[in-house]
Structure 1
Amino acid sequence: MPAAHRRKLPIGIQTFSDIREGGYYYVDKTPFIEKLANQNKYYFLSRPRRFGKSLLLDTLGCLFEGREALFYGLYIHDKWDWQQRYPVVRLSFGNGVAADREDLDANIRYQLQQQRARLQITSTPPKRIADDFASLIEQAHRVHGQRVVVLIDEYDKPILDNIPDSDRARELREGLKNLYSVLKDADPH
């Protein structure tokens, strides 16, 4: 009897589309994702490293962007309104180590610029990072006609990378606080 087609294990893969399109095993977490998406507005997901947070965030991004083909055969497929597509702002601090506040701010500016381009927002961003982030969210809402989904991966890595230097860690915490403080007032968007 010939061996059945064996799927591959998705070791180290953090991209939902790679798993779904690449013939990898995928444990369907969409029953939980449906609850996340439909119950509350804000979530803080804290789990140990290498526990699938990045993959979960990518899956959420694909869902809110309306990438229906990736969800065929999964629990959520017939429970989601695929006509609704949301602008998704994705930020991640997993790339590299922020040496200081200037480096962190440059990283944030670069990511906001990338998100503006991806979401086809052409206006000139404000000078202050907090204003830039707020403007990005507001304009994405206006341009796309839907409220914005903000996904932030490795949200605390710049601080954790610098824990041995408490002054630098504190400086980076303030930089991240400057960015994250925008979310409360951006709630309507």
Structure 2
Amino acid sequence: MELIGRRYSIGIQNFEELRNRNCVYVDKTELVYKLVNTDKVYFFSRPRRFGKSLLVSTLEAYFLGKKELFEGLAMERLEQEWEAYPVLHVDFSLTKYTELRDLTGQLNLFLSRWEEIYGKKEEEEGAAERLQGIILRAYAKTGKPVVVLIDEYDAPLLDSNSDALLQQQLRNEICKFFSPLKGLGQYLRFLFITGISKFSQQSIFSRLNNLQR
């Protein structure tokens, strides 16, 4: 690989930025291709700085059909269709969680952004109802199943380790928010969840079956 004039991607966790800035990138897109074509639901637990967010943003670029970002990589050769899907990307590492409204406010930001694209019904009041409505409308509007990417799912719980009551409140809110996913399998193309904690330690997604870990 020709490295002259290319930057090292120190601190860059976004695939699109990394590629647009012509940074050095160790091509793992063949593994990504196998991942998205093997199973539908995954849970990926790794310590901090192990490339989880970069992987999530790579998946996002792939499912949005951004073929140009994969020029010269294995994915360009492997993928023939380059279909674009509606993508809902949730990144829980964007803020700190010192009270319950930090989480509810962050969820509302995600939901409002998606509702600008896919619309909202007045009767959808709770966060879980809004998420379900967004997924159903995204499917109806595009004719494509929805991709849900959840990065650092346990960030709120790790932030609240010293406050058992707050941690339980946050856990309950996250469980409630994602509860519609189990019943919406036919409308989902791919569900990918990353975090630091092992899945069994937090039991947030206990209702989801067949998770590949």
Task: Give the Å deviation of 1:21.
Answer: 1.3
Measure the CA separation in 2 of the matches of 1:15 and 1:72: 16
The alpha-carbon deviation at position 102 of structure 1 amounts to 2.6
1-side partners of 2:119 and 2:167: how far apart?
34
Aligned residues: 185
* 1:137-164 deviation line (CA, Å, top 9, x unaligned): 1111111110000001111100100001
Q: Could you tell me how far 1:29 is from its partner in structure 2?
A: 0.8
Once the two structures are TM-superposed, the CA of residue 122 in structure 1 deviates from its matched residue by 2.3
TM-score by length of 1: 0.92
Between the aligned partners of 1:30 and 1:160, the Cα distance in structure 2 is 30
Residue 97 of structure 1 corresponds to 96
Q: Deviations over 1:25-74 (max 9, x none)?
A: 00011111011100111000101101110010000000010000001111
Q: 2:133 corresponds to which residue? A: 135
Q: In the aligned structure 2, how far is the partner of 1:144 from the partner of 1:116?
A: 14
Q: Pick the aligned partner of 1:164 from 162, 172, 175.
A: 162
Q: Which sections of structure 1, spanning at least 5 residues, go unmatched? A: none
Map 1:114-125 onto structure 2 (within 5 A).
114-117=113-116, 120-124=117-121
Query: SS of 2:88's equivalent?
Result: strand
Query: Which residue identity lines up with residue 158 of structure 1 in the other structure?
Result: P
1:73 and 2:72 are equivalent in the alignment: yes
Distance in 1 between the 2:57 and 2:115 partners?
A: 18
1:85 aligns with 2:84: yes
Corresponding residue for residue 18 of structure 2: 19
Aligned to 1:45: 44
Give distance in 1, aligned partners of 2:63 and 2:80: 10
Task: Give the superposition deviation at 1:78.
Answer: 2.3
Question: Bigger relative contact order, structure 1 or 2, given CA contacts below 8 A and separation 6+?
Answer: 2
Q: Distance in 1 between matches of 2:102 and 2:46?
A: 27
**Does the CA-based 8 Å contact 1:16-1:59 persist in structure 2?**
yes
Give the structure 2 partner of residue 8 of structure 1.
Answer: 7
Gaps of 5+ in 2: 188-213
C-alpha distance in 2 between matches for 1:143 and 1:83:
19
